[in-house]
């Protein structure tokens, strides 16, 4: 079985890389730190024009009709550039939720706008795999009441997908336009200012059930997003390794590049091994994502765990390799560390994913 991407898919990834090399230098990432919206409109528009935001959306619905694998190869390049773009909630979660589970009216209204970047999607991500129903907002007669404490793109998003409950206590995915006056927003700080979040309060806000999706579909969306995010994490981990390698080759100690010392060489080799292990898991996750079969829960958990560990290790060792320079604000090392810490927890804590993997192993295919 061949898990590699096709030449056309690799070419799409190279196109996204070249675009980001031109449009997304580290100065653009730093500018997003201080920007009120926390992302680069220039980068977001460029990704839409390149077809990345609509890669998995059918052409008839306003996308480019490529597929999830193109999203995977593109996501790796976003991670490599630390792209300050709201893709995690908008492209990997909100768009996917509407594409997979929305009715025709919902898909027609929102997917084209999401693919063009004219609308940004938000996602309430503080549930984990076993949300407490009593803590969820209530959807009743087209009105949403309650609050969410961690909503990605909550301040800048135009439409949000959140897990809610019906008056009968059944979980349901709800779709809510955030421009309504009944939606009260408050910014929530995060360790990575390019991944902005907010707390939202819905005070009888107009909302719709997203098709018939409930708890199983919610878990499926989290698993799919975990695969996409794993590719972003691998891209960032590879770039952090390259930064450490390049610095080790130019920085000298006792008249020799520090990269010539075993303590540095072995450290960089360990990072490389971790990145490759994560890549193998992510490729399996990409296959399972396209097959959308019973292997997805375990494959997604493996990709999520390995990629989170790889990026965290690469970001930490990148700082250590840079020494005193690595802990300064002027160094770019901390940007990768911020992204590593945020991404490791955004779709659920590491222990939750390990428990998810254990359940999938114990029960077998179809556990998710």
CA atoms in the 13 A half-sphere facing the CB of 150: 12
Cα 23 to Cα 10, 12, 89, 121, 234, distances in angstroms: 20, 16, 21, 22, 21
Q: With the C-alpha atoms ordered 283, 286, 288, 291, is the resulting torsion angle positive or negative?
A: negative
Q: What angle do CA 351, 352, 354 make, to 5 degrees?
A: 65
pLDDT of residue 368: 45
pLDDT of residue 223: 95
pLDDT of residue 292: 84
Bridge partners of 172?
Answer: 164
Residues 6+ apart with CB under 8 A from 237: 79, 271, 274, 275, 278, 307, 310, 311, 313, 314, 315
Residue 260 and residue 276: Cα distance in Å, rounded? Answer: 23
Phi and psi at residue 55, in whole multiples of 5°? -60, -40
pLDDT of residue 365: 63
pLDDT of residue 322: 94
pLDDT of residue 35: 86
pLDDT of residue 353: 92
DSSP sequence for 57-122 = S-GGGTS----HHHHHHHHHHHHHTT---THHHIIIIIHHHHHHH--HHHHHHHHHHHHHTSS-EE
pLDDT of residue 367: 44
pLDDT of residue 77: 98
Are β-strands 208-209 and 197-206 bridged in parallel, bridged antiparallel, or unpaired? unpaired
Q: For every one of its 368 residues, what pLDDT tens digit does the chain have, with 9 covering 90 and above?
A: 677 899 999 999 999 999 999 999 999 999 998 888 899 999 999 999 999 999 999 999 999 999 999 999 999 999 999 999 999 999 999 999 999 999 999 999 999 999 999 999 999 876 666 667 778 999 999 999 999 988 999 999 999 999 999 988 889 999 999 999 999 999 999 999 999 999 999 999 999 999 888 888 999 999 999 999 999 999 999 999 999 999 999 998 888 988 889 899 999 999 999 999 999 999 999 999 999 889 999 999 999 999 999 999 999 999 999 998 999 999 999 999 999 999 999 998 888 999 989 988 887 764 44
């Amino acid at each position: 079985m061949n898990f590699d991407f096709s030449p056309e898919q690799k070419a799409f990834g190279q196109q996204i890389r070249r675009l980001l090399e031109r449009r997304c230098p580290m100065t653009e990432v730093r500018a997003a730190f201080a920007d009120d919206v926390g992302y680069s409109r220039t980068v977001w528009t460029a990704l839409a024009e390149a077809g990345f935001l609509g890669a998995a959306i059918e052409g008839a619905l306003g996308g480019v009709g490529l597929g999830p694998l193109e999203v995977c190869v593109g996501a790796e390049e976003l991670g490599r550039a630390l792209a300050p773009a709201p893709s995690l909630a908008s492209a990997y979660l909100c768009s996917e939720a509407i594409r997979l589970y929305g009715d025709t009216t919902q898909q027609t209204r929102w997917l084209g706008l999401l693919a063009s970047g004219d609308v940004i999607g938000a996602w309430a991500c503080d549930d984990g795999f076993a949300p407490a129903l009593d803590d969820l907002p209530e959807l009743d007669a087209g009105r949403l009441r309650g609050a969410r404490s961690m909503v990605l793109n909550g301040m800048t998003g135009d439409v949000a997908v959140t897990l809610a409950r019906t008056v009968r206590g059944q979980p349901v995915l709800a779709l809510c336009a955030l421009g309504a006056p009944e939606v009260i927003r408050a910014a929530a700080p995060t360790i990575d200012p390019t991944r902005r979040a907010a707390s939202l309060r819905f005070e009888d806000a107009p909302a719709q059930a997203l098709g018939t999706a409930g708890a199983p579909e919610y878990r499926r969306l989290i698993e799919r997003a975990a695969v996409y995010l794993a590719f972003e994490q691998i891209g960032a981990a590879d770039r952090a390794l390259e930064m450490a390698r390049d610095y080790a080759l130019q920085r000298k100690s006792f008249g020799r590049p520090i990269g010539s010392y075993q303590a540095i060489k072995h450290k960089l080799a360990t990072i490389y091994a971790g990145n490759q292990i994560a890549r193998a898991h992510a490729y399996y996750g990409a296959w399972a994502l396209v097959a959308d079969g019973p292997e997805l829960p375990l494959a997604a958990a493996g990709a999520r765990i390995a990629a989170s560990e790889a990026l965290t290790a690469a970001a930490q060792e990148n700082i250590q390799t840079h020494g005193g320079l690595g802990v300064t604000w002027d160094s770019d090392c901390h940007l990768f560390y911020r992204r590593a810490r945020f991404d490791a927890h955004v779709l659920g804590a590491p222990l939750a994913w390990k428990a998810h993997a254990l359940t999938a192993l114990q029960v077998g295919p179809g556990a998710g």
